[in-house]
Copies of this chain bind each other. A is one copy, B any other.
Amino acid sequence: MITIKEIAQKAGVSATTVSNVLNGNTGKVSLPIREKIEAILVQENYAPNMGAHILARKNSRTVGVIIFMEPRGDETVLEDPFSSTILGAIEAELHSNGYYMMLLSTSDKDEVFRLSSAWKLAGLILLFVPKELIRSLQKKILSPTVFVDSNIRESLPGCLSVGLEDYAGGYKMGRYLISMGHREIVFVANDNSEDCSDYNRFSGFQKAFEDEGLILNNDHFIPLSMNRSQRIDFYDRLATKPFPYSCIAFSADYYAVEAINRFQEQGRDIPADISVSGFDDNIYSRIIRPRLTTVHQDVRKKGTSAVNLLIRAIEKGEPQEFHEYLPVRLEIRDSVGRI
Residues of A within 8 A of B (CB): 1, 45, 47-55, 60, 65, 67, 71-72, 75, 77-81, 83-85, 87-88, 91-92, 95-96, 100-106, 110, 113-115, 117-120, 142, 257-258, 260-261, 264, 282-284, 286-289, 300
Specify which chain B residues have a CB less than 8 angstroms from the CB of A77 in the assembled complex. Answer: 88
Interchain nearest-CB distance for A81 vs B (Å): 5
Cα distance A115–B260 in the bound complex, in angstroms: 45
Cα distance A113–B282 in the bound complex, in angstroms: 35
Q: Check A84–B91 contact: CB distance below 8 A.
A: no
CB nearest neighbor in B for A81: B79
Interchain nearest-CB distance for A298 vs B (Å): 13
Contacts A45-B114, A75-B88, A92-B71 given; does A50 touch B119 at CB 8 Å: yes
Specify which chain B residues have a CB less than 8 angstroms from the CB of A92 in the assembled complex. Answer: 71-72, 105
Instruction: List the 7 shortest-distance A-B pairs measured between CB atoms, nearest first.
Output: A51-B54, A84-B84, A78-B88, A47-B114, A51-B55, A83-B84, A47-B117
Q: Check B120–A49 contact: CB distance below 8 A.
A: yes
Specify which chain B residues have a CB less than 8 angstroms from the CB of A80 in the assembled complex. Answer: 81, 84
Q: How many copies does the complex hold?
A: 2
Specify which chain B residues have a CB less than 8 angstroms from the CB of A91 in the assembled complex. Answer: 67, 71, 103-105
Specify which chain B residues have a CB less than 8 angstroms from the CB of A284 in the assembled complex. Answer: 257, 284, 287
Interchain nearest-CB distance for A48 vs B (Å): 6
CB nearest neighbor in B for A62: B102
17 contacts between A and B (CB under 8 A): A45-B114, A47-B117, A48-B118, A49-B120, A50-B51, A50-B118, A51-B120, A65-B103, A78-B87, A84-B87, A87-B87, A95-B106, A100-B104, A101-B103, A103-B103, A284-B287, A288-B288
Q: Check B50–A71 contact: CB distance below 8 A.
A: no
Specify which chain B residues have a CB less than 8 angstroms from the CB of A85 in the assembled complex. Answer: 75, 78-79
Interchain nearest-CB distance for A112 vs B (Å): 11
Cα distance A87–B53 in the bound complex, in angstroms: 28
Specify which chain B residues have a CB less than 8 angstroms from the CB of A115 in the assembled complex. Answer: 47, 100
Interchain nearest-CB distance for A125 vs B (Å): 12
Specify which chain B residues have a CB less than 8 angstroms from the CB of A110 in the assembled complex. Answer: 45
Interface centre among A81, A87, A289 (most CB of B within 10 A): A81
A45 partner, pick from B45, B75, B113, B261, beta carbons under 8 A: B113
Given A1-B117, A48-B118, A72-B92, list of 18 further CB < 8 A pairs?
A: A47-B118, A49-B118, A50-B118, A51-B120, A55-B55, A75-B85, A75-B300, A78-B81, A79-B81, A79-B282, A80-B81, A83-B84, A87-B103, A101-B103, A261-B286, A284-B287, A288-B288, A288-B289
